[in-house]
Structure 1
Amino acid sequence: MERMEEKRKSNNSRIIIGLIFLAVGGFLFADRFNIIPFNWNHYIFTWQSLLIGIGLISLAKNESRATGSVLIAIGGFFLAAKIFGFHYPIRHFFWPTVFVGLGLLLIFQRGGNSHKNRLGRFDKGEIDMDIIDDIAIFGGSEQKITSKNFKGGKVSNIFGGSTFDMMDAELAPGRNVLDMFCLFGGSKIIVPAGWSIKIEVTSIFGGYSDKRRIAPKGGIEVDRELVIKGVVIFGGGEIKGY
């Protein structure tokens, strides 16, 4: 049942992405044949449209509905301003938009068994919860996860960073999702060598990488998996194992 649900979500993602490419290709053909009477490429091939596209892909991949919705809202606002001739400098609205977007993300992403907010400070501690919910803003943390039935959770790093040591933890059976959001920040996850990990992160001027050594053949836990999802913007993350 779980694999069927994952396959359905994957098919939906391909359909949405395919429709986006078809729409762009259709606009290009229409432009070549002079069917469209206005210079639409000044609106389509812009950073505003890029944000909308990334938001749609994020929603299609079911990574983070809150993040995808905020990206679409920000891109749509500035694209509408461009189309309707709202000529105020964008820099005047950049930071207000950022703070509104961050506020919406924090509201809609709230949840989990262990919820911690860090604003402008660095914390170090131990978490024995199956689901984590960690937010670091202008600060950071080093957390040791000791749960023997870890199911994932949510992590948000905004102008901050966090490190999660899971060497003494164990994954719950099946598929466990950790939703990451990094904006001008990053995270590091330290895991045992035998963990099966899949990275499904949307990166914008950033990245998320698995830097573990290749585990010995037969040493991977095939019945337990940790899936890293989410969005990384001007930030990054890495997975390490010792």
Structure 2
Amino acid sequence: MSERKNRPDSKIIIGFIFVIVGAYLLLYNLNLLPFSLPSYVISWKTFLIALGLLLVGTRENKGGGVTLIIVGGVFLVADILDVTIGELISEIWLFWPAIFIIIGLTLLLRRSREKKTENEDEFRVNESNDDYLDVSAILGGNKRLAYSQHFKGARLTAILGGVDLNLINAELAPGRHEIEVFVLLGGATIIVPNNWNIKMDITPIAGGTDDNRTFPQRYIPNAEYELIIKGVVLFGGIDLNSA
């Protein structure tokens, strides 16, 4: 838990990025800047790189952040060198034999890991007993089934993809806990038991939330157990369901 608390809060970092970019664009439009940055500095390429750095710095799973950095970096380098993506790729293609080396090493390392875990829980990829979860989906989907009997929260990230967190078989730990959600051009689905005490604190920007929970006839929230679902939704959605 202490390791999780020491990680930067992505909402604060995102807020600073929006403030800085917005202030620069406002001053630029009002001709109040004594200088102007190159066009490629304020662009969707640098946005992808900044978002990738944010994910690498705040998430346990670094793969999605690295992917965004690479994609943004390729297009940014092409802009800086004033070449087309095709020309840049043709230069990079000189090193295509390295692809075989990378694939070979990946297969060898994967096979080595499979041998170590072939007698362990074969569904570990999709199931977890951890009390705190960090689930990301970048350009794809990621489903997680939680079985923790002392669940203390999670971080969910969905960028051009979808995250599905199923907590039906989990038990909430006593106290106040949080699920932090960041959605960009994607979606997140959270399924909870219908007797959990849940509060929503989502900031939607061209997005929204949909609470589809059903409750027992004599539903009385337990104040000693509280789960806060908070975060930011940009051009996407969050679905909250119960069973």
* Corresponding residue SS for 1:212: coil
CA–CA distance in structure 2, aligned partners of residues 237 and 155 of structure 1: 11
* Corresponding residue SS for 2:149: coil
Alignment of 1:180 with 2:129, yes or no, is no
* Corresponding residue SS for 1:203: strand
Match of 1:81 in 2: 28
Q: Which amino acid aligns with 2:173?
A: A
Match of 1:165 in 2: 166
Can you list the C-alpha shifts for 1:203-226, whole angstroms capped at 9, x where unaligned? 001012221013332453331111
Match of 2:13 in 1: 66
* Corresponding residue SS for 2:239: strand
Match of 2:52 in 1: 103
- Structure 1 residues 152 and 215, CA gap change in structure 2 (3 angstroms): same
CA–CA distance in structure 2, aligned partners of residues 134 and 194 of structure 1: 24
* Corresponding residue SS for 2:17: helix
Alignment of 1:234 with 2:235, yes or no, is yes
CA–CA distance in structure 2, aligned partners of residues 89 and 203 of structure 1: 31
CA–CA distance in structure 2, aligned partners of residues 191 and 200 of structure 1: 16
* Corresponding residue SS for 2:216: coil
What aligned pairs does 1:28-177 form with structure 2 within 5 A after superposition? 64-84=11-31, 93-111=42-60, 115=61, 117=63, 125-177=126-178
Q: Which moved more, 1:67-76 or 1:90-99?
A: 90-99
Match of 2:213 in 1: 212
* Corresponding residue SS for 2:43: helix
Of the two, which has the highest radius of gyration? Answer: 2
Contact 1:116 1:134 in 2 (8 A): no
CA–CA distance in structure 1, aligned partners of residues 29 and 136 of structure 2: 34
TM-score (norm 1): 0.64
Deviation at 1:165?
Answer: 0.8
TM-score (norm 2): 0.63
Deviation at 1:146?
Answer: 0.7
CA–CA distance in structure 2, aligned partners of residues 124 and 79 of structure 1: 46
Contact 2:187 2:238 in 1 (8 A): yes
Give the CA RMSD over aligned residues. Answer: 2.9
* Corresponding residue SS for 1:96: helix
Match of 2:199 in 1: 198
Q: Which amino acid aligns with 1:209?
A: D
Identity %: 35
Q: Could you list the runs of 5+ residues in structure 1 that have no partner in the other structure?
A: 1-61
Q: Could you list the runs of 5+ residues in structure 2 that have no partner in the other structure?
A: 1-8, 69-123
Contact 1:191 1:240 in 2 (8 A): yes
- Structure 1 residues 172 and 229, CA gap change in structure 2 (3 angstroms): same
- Structure 1 residues 101 and 92, CA gap change in structure 2 (3 angstroms): closer
